[in-house]
Structure 1
Amino acid sequence: MMSYHVDLDGVGTSCHNLCVLLTGMLGSNGFTGSSQNYSTLLLEEETGRLYVGGRGALYALNTSNISTSASLTLDWNVTPEQKKQYFLCSLQTECYNHIRFLQRYNETHLYVCGTNAFRPLCAYIDTERFNFSSGFEEGRDRCPYDPAKGYTGLLIDGEMFSASQYEFRSSPDIRRNFPFPTLRTEEAPTRWLLEADFVGSVLLKESINSSIGDDDKIYFFFTERSQEQIAYPSQSKVSRVARVCKNDWGGQRTLQRKWTTFLKARMVCSVPEYELHLNILRDVFVLQGRDVQSSVFYGIFGLEWKNIKASAICQYAFSDVRRVFEGPYMEVQDSKWREYTGKVPEPRPGSCITDLHRSQGINSSRDLPDSVLTFARRHPLMAKQVHPIGLVPLMFKRSVNYVKIAVHKELALDGNLYTVLFLGTDDGWLHRAVSVDGEMHIIEELQIFAKPQPIESMVISTVQRSIYIGSHSGLIQVPMSTCQRYTSCYDCVFARDPFCGWDGRVCVEISSRAQRANLTQDISRGVRGCKEKSGNVIHRRRAVMLGDDVLLQCELRSNLATPRWTLNGKELQGYGLNSGYRVGTDGLLIIGARTQQGGSYRCFAVENGVSVLVYLYTVKIHTDPYLPTEPTQPLPSPPAPLPPGPNFQTFRHMEAIYISLVAVLGGLCLVLTVVLLYVSFCTRRTNQSRKFSHQNLHVLGASDRKRSSNLELKTISSHCNGRQGRFLQIIPDEDQISPAKTPPPAPPLPNPPPLPNMDYANGLSATLPSVLRKMNGNSYVLLRQADPEGMSPLYHSFTEELNRILEKRKHTQLDMHPDESSI
């Protein structure tokens, strides 16, 4: 049984990749016209054009760069008078012309259909002039009236095949729209389709090199309400694949103008280990091989419950689909669907016309006997189910809704063809994953759109090495791979990207090099070929006050990697409170810094047995906050000491008097302070106690110093991978800095000289990590409040330990107004 990638808790388990925000996109181009909803794409590699259908407009873009000004625009809007003619426009907000069908008709024209404010129209477009070449045609039987309805369509040899719900009160069905005679699915006595929601279709030319004279077949993919009894009563829908023959002309008497070859079967995509069954088909991509038997298709499956995010990618072989359609039928017995065990008439119902049929005098579907057509009419459903290759998904992801998929085969340095999946999410991200020995390895996650929105269309150009992605707000052209993002041999090889190889200096795209002998790549293991044992090492210096807590950040780029820390060349062992250290997913916390904890800290990323240095810290522990440090420039020589004399003795007497006065005043201030603190403490005891949570952590400083820090760790919203997350941010306590309670200014103190080339880090300062746990392959997931069940053990152990430390120390706090140097 083939292994697969399962991610139930939101933490990626099989990926070394990059989480790239929109601001870090390389080599991308964007296009935004006057319309919205760029949901229909037609790529023509030969002409170098990408045709785009939006809301009320069509565009012809240059495939090499969709941002160029050479793009052509054809407006096709709905006039206010047309909106007034249809009563639904007074109730709906989608009274526009959404382009739903856009395909090549012949060498000179395209054929296009739009919803036209719930009254669909179709037209021909002259590609040379890019304008309408004739009047508009009625599109009611060719295009859905509603832009939200599932739809798929094909234009094959001048014949149009489509599947959708075409009218407000009609049922969804599969049709051949022209030429005459038109065909559609049957509704009585057995309903062939029940609330079907179509997502895709494909033509497989089985007639090519056929030894039996077989016909070409068209496959449709959809989700519908279940008709048969299933083992999961909580689910009301099932995923289907249906098939019709291209040269089906309907029956002579039975099934007139109806399909005689319609068959459908259920597709299964389940995670057996967790007894999880994903029954909603969201999108499909067909990867055609040299023949039909080697062709496969990939489906994105989700759960029926919309409040749960989950996605699975299942791969199917068309040879398995064909075997199911050649198997037993289902029929209705006592109002229930059961497997049919009786005699099947000849020729087999639902089969296409072959040489065997022709030898029997059956040259088309109109020559089929009525007994065969009657059986086909009552037995559209197959008894066997279509199972994925390996019987398990290629990949399962929790907390992610994939909505679009595209697949590409890439030849790597080892001579193997690797399958690369491009997966679009419902919040505007693109995940790129590669299948390695049956396991999915996520390489990269890209934020395509700044505003979260579903990816509505996606197409790959192998000539331009680009992928074009459309959504509600615009269209983006992204390179299939950006190898220059990998800045070290470690990153380039560990990424296991089939597109990329290390040439000794930089990471390059393999296809761009004619000579590849000096390139390094390791897709199968991702560890071999790098001579150095370090990536891009980040150097930092930290100056820490004695007794402070400080976090040394070490964010690992790979979820497969684990951190390893050393101090002065010796590996740190036994992280915990007693050891003075606590390790987290993205850093090392030094607890109550002591003198012996100063030195050189190194953080290594350990992956697949390889240890790579990524962070280097030089930490100095200072016992006096005002003790001068080594200056960066020579200081002027101090004046020579004065000899003792009468003036000097007088100065010493005056100094003693001043010190006595200061001591007396300080004592009075201390008494007054104690009284004020006692009153304030009694008052606060009556108020509601503040709660410690991930949103507010009140830091009351270190217990072993007289100075204190009254700080608050507060979460601020952010997005990574399109998910709402929380950063930890340190802010002063609001009670201490409110205008009504402004603390008295402290007496001026001499400023110590700045530390040379150091990030001064007293207490838990700006060295806090931006994230504390990761998910979805390479991306980093922030501290989230809405998903406590999906948090990793490292997240709980690290943050809860930090909470306990701070809670323990707050009771020893004395100084309610910290001086600036302790913050």
Structure 2
Amino acid sequence: MSPLSALGVFSGLFLPMCLGEYNTHSCIPRKSVLYQDNLKLFREEGIWNYSTMLVREDLGLLLLGAREAVYALDINDISIKKSGVYWRVTEEKQRECTYKGKHAEIECRNYIRTLHKVDDSTMYVCGTNAFSPTCDYMTYSEGQLRLEEAQEEGKGKCPFDPFQKYSSIMVGNDLYSATSINFLGSEPVVLRSSSSALRTEFKSSWLNEPNFVYMDLVPESNNNPEGDDDKVYLFFSENAMEYDFYNKLTVSRVARVCKGDMGGQRTLQRKWTSFLKARLDCSLPEPSLPYIVQDVFLLKNDDWRKSVFYAVFTPQSSSSDMSAVCAYSVSAIGDVFDKGKFKTPVTVETSHVKWVMYSGEVPTPRPGACINNAARTLGMERSLDLPDKTLQFIRDRPLMDDAVHPLTGRPLLVKRGDLFTRLVVDSVLALDGETYAVMFIGTENGYVQKAVNYAGEMFIIEEIQLYQTPEAIRTLRLSSTGQLYAGSEYGAVQMPLSECGRYESCLDCVLARDPYCGWDLSTGLCSAVASSPFASVPTNMIQSLKDGDISQCPKSETMKPENYTLVPGNNIKLPCQPDSNLAQVQWLFSGQLLLSDTKYYIYNGGILILNASAANTGQYTCESVEQVNSRPYTRTMAVYQLLPHTNLDEESETMTESPHSHSTPLPDLLKVTEKPKALDPLPPPESQCEDGRVVGLQVVVALLSLMLVGLVAWSLYKGCFRSRFSENSSAGQVKRPSDDYMQIQNNITSEFKLLGPTPSLSANKNQNAIIAFKGNGEHHFSPGSNISTVDGLGYIDDESEI
């Protein structure tokens, strides 16, 4: 493979891959924003695992739970710590933990896993406490965070294992939690801690080695004509019972319970009478094991029926590197539970239990349903009034036969590469009057991807690197102040939901299709769009989210070319970097489209002109072409004018005629030859002392020649000239200048070195720079060289001359 081909392959490795069937849904982020020092970061030396967050906008705080610490941070700048408390394990607890086989410095610490609001100034906090979960109340007043020292048992409220998945939610004064209630983690439970505590049955048909992910409340009693109850939804994964495989198969589930559930009178006493679960489907285009849910976010709507759960899925096999986002409507989940068929266990010949669809009669009231108007007409006001037939049915058959399918029938977004970990979703009102759901998705390498769905087209606006070194994002939270907070093992980071100033032109601003941003015609800047539904729509702002229409943008000024002098025989690189990952670069030479061939190599960073000659002089234009809804938008990114190389003697005369010409320092890539703003005197030209240097060099060469003659005569005298000469010839041969030059011409990875004094730039408007490039695409300047040239240009015959 040639070096240029290898470069193209290597560059392609950095681009996320899209899947054939999902090309419109799994695309490359339009912009990639690398780590910036201006991000607000909080971490404290010696403290790790910043994975629990509670946003308290009423207090102006972000409560951040870590290992053995809770911090109260300024919600507008989390690098400012207002207060903090440290909750460390006692030596006795740590000793007990290590006796049970746990690691003293890793597992036998207190990891804060629960943070919930109780009232205006009080929070409920729980920690693993060296495998002895404990809870306490915490207050914030007069700028100080304090633990109330009213510790209580945390079993069932907080996990024993700090690295076990877990979820909880506070509904009123009741804590709903999903975790394990024993040291070994073998007794999973969905628990409500209240005056009427309820939990799930210890049966594998209810929970089979689950990993809990997310819980949230949906207020389904609001404006409900059926008089239904509010429900708590739970997302988790577990080993499937319904599939016959030799090995365990993990599937994703969604379950729900009713807020007003009080358990049964005789059957299911102090147990959930409304616990139902169904398989969560998020099928990817390639054949694989079911993907596993990792995180969920509920985007609430004033009409709860239009609320949507967004979920992140990753493979359960390490052979795949794809992750996906699927969306599920609350009403679709409700239909599966309220109208779907049940599964039932049956015993087959081998005494093996198999789960099949239940086709018998379903009792009334319907098993798993909340107390509603239909139940009340039958005289049932509480779950305690439900008949045993209904309760026995749900006790034995909590699994639905139907799966819950995604809102769009398939994943919203599919990505290959670093896996998704967490997500949050914001609702944004755009200038067209529509509300868009903007997803912020964290990855295992510390990036956040910002994506939105436009009429079935998933568009990734940008990806932002939050951590300088790869750090898996473990927590994401939003605030109504327009900030996103991310937590990891290393620390917590704050970033704005959008930085409109990142888009410098109208075309770039509009093609970004960012609901938060629009191009302000009055200021000529990309600015934030007011998201309040009561704000008046600005008439001087441009935004086109679905179409990416830039027709209203003012015409950009014609770009002036940058002038450069072409040195024959050199490789010349002209840089051009598109401002979008979705754009393709095309080059025009004197108005004609260029394609990569033996003379021109076009790549994502520019164009390389190989072995340049006088025929390659002219104007080169770099254009960025970006497709939006099959419409190409072209933008000129750079214009270069390569001028023919002039005789050095003529340039030397020009330099003599203009003793006050000014030459600016050469940058790393190209020498831009702009007209000087000030005329500074130059030092005496080096050409005035060159004759003296040449004479000196001649004298040195003559002396070396005499010494060589003496050595040859001495060798002949000793009779060993022939053998010494043979050894020297076999050890190494001196290359002729012509041989070395041909090698450079035929091997583009060799280095071009231009000799001779670089002509100074005159003060007139036709100033140009001589550019010499290495064959590998990098340039090399040889200013102020003192070795004489042949025909105006000279090449080093032997590098020992340098």
TM norm structure 1: 0.76
1:32-66, Cα deviation, whole Å (9 max, x unpaired): 23532111111122232211111111111221222
Query: What secondary structure sits across from 1:127 in the alignment?
Result: strand
Equivalence map 1:67-146=2 (5 Å): 67-69=79-81, 71-86=82-97, 87-88=99-100, 91-92=103-104, 93-128=106-141, 129-146=144-161
Rounded to whole Å, the distance in 2 between the matches of 1:488 and 1:677 is 66
- Match in the other structure for 1:209: 223
Rounded to whole Å, the distance in 1 between the matches of 2:499 and 2:269 is 55
The match for 1:752 among 740, 747, 758 is: 758
Rounded to whole Å, the distance in 2 between the matches of 1:431 and 1:359 is 51
Q: Indicate yes or no: 2:572 matched with 1:572.
A: no
Q: Indicate yes or no: 2:511 matched with 1:500.
A: no
Rounded to whole Å, the distance in 2 between the matches of 1:538 and 1:487 is 18
Q: Indicate yes or no: 2:607 matched with 1:588.
A: yes
One-letter amino acid matched to 1:486: Y
Instruction: State whether residues 344 and 355 of structure 2, in contact with CA within 8 Å, keep that contact through their aligned partners in structure 1.
Output: yes
Query: What secondary structure sits across from 2:427 in the alignment?
Result: strand
Equivalence map 1:147-166=2 (5 Å): 147-166=162-181
The match for 2:547 among 525, 544, 547 is: 525
Rounded to whole Å, the distance in 2 between the matches of 1:524 and 1:514 is 21
> How much does 1:416 deviate?
1.5
Instruction: State whether residues 468 and 477 of structure 1, in contact with CA within 8 Å, keep that contact through their aligned partners in structure 2.
Output: yes
1:165-184, Cα deviation, whole Å (9 max, x unpaired): 23223435343342244322
Query: What secondary structure sits across from 1:383 in the alignment?
Result: coil
Instruction: State whether residues 293 and 312 of structure 2, in contact with CA within 8 Å, keep that contact through their aligned partners in structure 1.
Output: yes
Query: Residues 623, 315 of structure 1: CA spacing in aligned structure 2 closer, same or farther, 3 A cutoff?
Result: same
> How much does 1:6 deviate?
7.9
Q: Indicate yes or no: 2:360 matched with 1:342.
A: yes
1:583-636, Cα deviation, whole Å (9 max, x unpaired): 223322212211110222110011232221012223345498999579678456
Rounded to whole Å, the distance in 1 between the matches of 2:728 and 2:548 is 61
> How much does 1:141 deviate?
2.1
Query: Residues 90, 305 of structure 1: CA spacing in aligned structure 2 closer, same or farther, 3 A cutoff?
Result: closer
Rounded to whole Å, the distance in 2 between the matches of 1:567 and 1:365 is 80
Rounded to whole Å, the distance in 2 between the matches of 1:365 and 1:602 is 75
Query: Residues 574, 140 of structure 1: CA spacing in aligned structure 2 closer, same or farther, 3 A cutoff?
Result: closer
Query: Residues 677, 182 of structure 1: CA spacing in aligned structure 2 closer, same or farther, 3 A cutoff?
Result: farther
Instruction: State whether residues 55 and 96 of structure 1, in contact with CA within 8 Å, keep that contact through their aligned partners in structure 2.
Output: yes
Query: Residues 390, 707 of structure 1: CA spacing in aligned structure 2 closer, same or farther, 3 A cutoff?
Result: closer
Runs (5+) with no aligned partner, structure 1: 638-653, 683-700, 714-729, 733-745, 769-813
One-letter amino acid matched to 1:432: K
Which piece of structure 1 moves more, 295-304 or 521-530? 521-530
Query: Residues 413, 277 of structure 1: CA spacing in aligned structure 2 closer, same or farther, 3 A cutoff?
Result: farther
- Match in the other structure for 1:548: 570
Q: Indicate yes or no: 2:206 matched with 1:192.
A: yes
Instruction: State whether residues 281 and 302 of structure 1, in contact with CA within 8 Å, keep that contact through their aligned partners in structure 2.
Output: yes
Instruction: State whether residues 191 and 200 of structure 2, in contact with CA within 8 Å, keep that contact through their aligned partners in structure 1.
Output: no
Rounded to whole Å, the distance in 1 between the matches of 2:85 and 2:657 is 72
Instruction: State whether residues 312 and 326 of structure 2, in contact with CA within 8 Å, keep that contact through their aligned partners in structure 1.
Output: yes
Query: What secondary structure sits across from 2:95 in the alignment?
Result: helix
- Match in the other structure for 2:193: 178
> How much does 1:343 deviate?
1.1
Rounded to whole Å, the distance in 2 between the matches of 1:481 and 1:632 is 52
The match for 2:370 among 344, 352, 358 is: 352
Equivalence map 1:460-471=2 (5 Å): 460-462=478-480, 464-471=481-488
One-letter amino acid matched to 2:422: K
One-letter amino acid matched to 1:80: E
The match for 2:311 among 296, 299, 303 is: 299
The match for 2:250 among 234, 237, 248 is: 237
Query: What secondary structure sits across from 2:85 in the alignment?
Result: strand
Rounded to whole Å, the distance in 2 between the matches of 1:118 and 1:414 is 53
Which piece of structure 1 moves more, 194-203 or 42-51? 42-51
> How much does 1:535 deviate?
8.9
- Match in the other structure for 1:604: 623
Rounded to whole Å, the distance in 2 between the matches of 1:166 and 1:79 is 22
> How much does 1:81 deviate?
3.1
The match for 1:251 among 240, 244, 264 is: 264
Rounded to whole Å, the distance in 2 between the matches of 1:538 and 1:167 is 73
Rounded to whole Å, the distance in 2 between the matches of 1:247 and 1:302 is 34
Which piece of structure 1 moves more, 597-606 or 251-260? 251-260
> How much does 1:480 deviate?
0.7
Rounded to whole Å, the distance in 2 between the matches of 1:459 and 1:292 is 21
Rounded to whole Å, the distance in 2 between the matches of 1:24 and 1:530 is 35
One-letter amino acid matched to 1:153: S
One-letter amino acid matched to 2:68: G
Instruction: State whether residues 542 and 620 of structure 1, in contact with CA within 8 Å, keep that contact through their aligned partners in structure 2.
Output: yes
The match for 2:388 among 362, 370, 375 is: 370
Which piece of structure 1 moves more, 418-427 or 16-25? 16-25
- Match in the other structure for 2:53: 41
Equivalence map 1:434-445=2 (5 Å): 434-445=452-463
The match for 1:388 among 406, 418, 425 is: 406
Query: What secondary structure sits across from 2:92 in the alignment?
Result: helix
- Match in the other structure for 2:43: 32
Rounded to whole Å, the distance in 1 between the matches of 2:323 and 2:653 is 58
Instruction: State whether residues 652 and 759 of structure 2, in contact with CA within 8 Å, keep that contact through their aligned partners in structure 1.
Output: yes
Which piece of structure 1 moves more, 172-181 or 255-264? 172-181
- Match in the other structure for 2:18: 7
- Match in the other structure for 2:477: 459
> How much does 1:483 deviate?
0.6
Instruction: State whether residues 188 and 202 of structure 2, in contact with CA within 8 Å, keep that contact through their aligned partners in structure 1.
Output: no
Which piece of structure 1 moves more, 606-615 or 145-154? 606-615
One-letter amino acid matched to 1:99: I
1:766-818, Cα deviation, whole Å (9 max, x unpaired): 649xxxxxxxxxxxxxxxxxxxxxxxxxxxxxxxxxxxxxxxxxxxxx99955
Instruction: State whether residues 534 and 613 of structure 1, in contact with CA within 8 Å, keep that contact through their aligned partners in structure 2.
Output: no
Query: What secondary structure sits across from 2:169 in the alignment?
Result: strand
- Match in the other structure for 1:641: none
Rounded to whole Å, the distance in 2 between the matches of 1:208 and 1:614 is 55
Query: What secondary structure sits across from 1:67 in the alignment?
Result: strand
Query: Residues 82, 757 of structure 1: CA spacing in aligned structure 2 closer, same or farther, 3 A cutoff?
Result: farther
Rounded to whole Å, the distance in 2 between the matches of 1:332 and 1:207 is 33
Which piece of structure 1 moves more, 312-321 or 530-539? 530-539
> How much does 1:350 deviate?
0.8
The match for 1:480 among 497, 513, 522 is: 497
- Match in the other structure for 2:446: 428
1:475-507, Cα deviation, whole Å (9 max, x unpaired): 111111001111111211111111111123211
> How much does 1:234 deviate?
8.5
The match for 2:279 among 263, 266, 269 is: 266
Query: Residues 676, 501 of structure 1: CA spacing in aligned structure 2 closer, same or farther, 3 A cutoff?
Result: farther
Rounded to whole Å, the distance in 2 between the matches of 1:752 and 1:6 is 46
Instruction: State whether residues 278 and 302 of structure 1, in contact with CA within 8 Å, keep that contact through their aligned partners in structure 2.
Output: no
> How much does 1:148 deviate?
0.6
> How much does 1:346 deviate?
1.3
Query: Residues 263, 593 of structure 1: CA spacing in aligned structure 2 closer, same or farther, 3 A cutoff?
Result: same
Rounded to whole Å, the distance in 1 between the matches of 2:374 and 2:554 is 67
Instruction: State whether residues 268 and 395 of structure 2, in contact with CA within 8 Å, keep that contact through their aligned partners in structure 1.
Output: yes
Instruction: State whether residues 489 and 502 of structure 1, in contact with CA within 8 Å, keep that contact through their aligned partners in structure 2.
Output: yes
Instruction: State whether residues 456 and 471 of structure 1, in contact with CA within 8 Å, keep that contact through their aligned partners in structure 2.
Output: yes
The match for 2:330 among 315, 318, 338 is: 318
1:390-410, Cα deviation, whole Å (9 max, x unpaired): 211111000121111010111
Rounded to whole Å, the distance in 1 between the matches of 2:540 and 2:731 is 73
Rounded to whole Å, the distance in 1 between the matches of 2:637 and 2:299 is 40
Structure number with the bigger relative contact order (C-alpha 8 A, sep ≥ 6) is 1
Query: What secondary structure sits across from 1:193 in the alignment?
Result: coil
Which piece of structure 1 moves more, 346-355 or 204-213? 204-213
Instruction: State whether residues 626 and 752 of structure 1, in contact with CA within 8 Å, keep that contact through their aligned partners in structure 2.
Output: no
Rounded to whole Å, the distance in 2 between the matches of 1:140 and 1:435 is 42
Rounded to whole Å, the distance in 2 between the matches of 1:319 and 1:261 is 17
| Aligned residues between the structures | 694
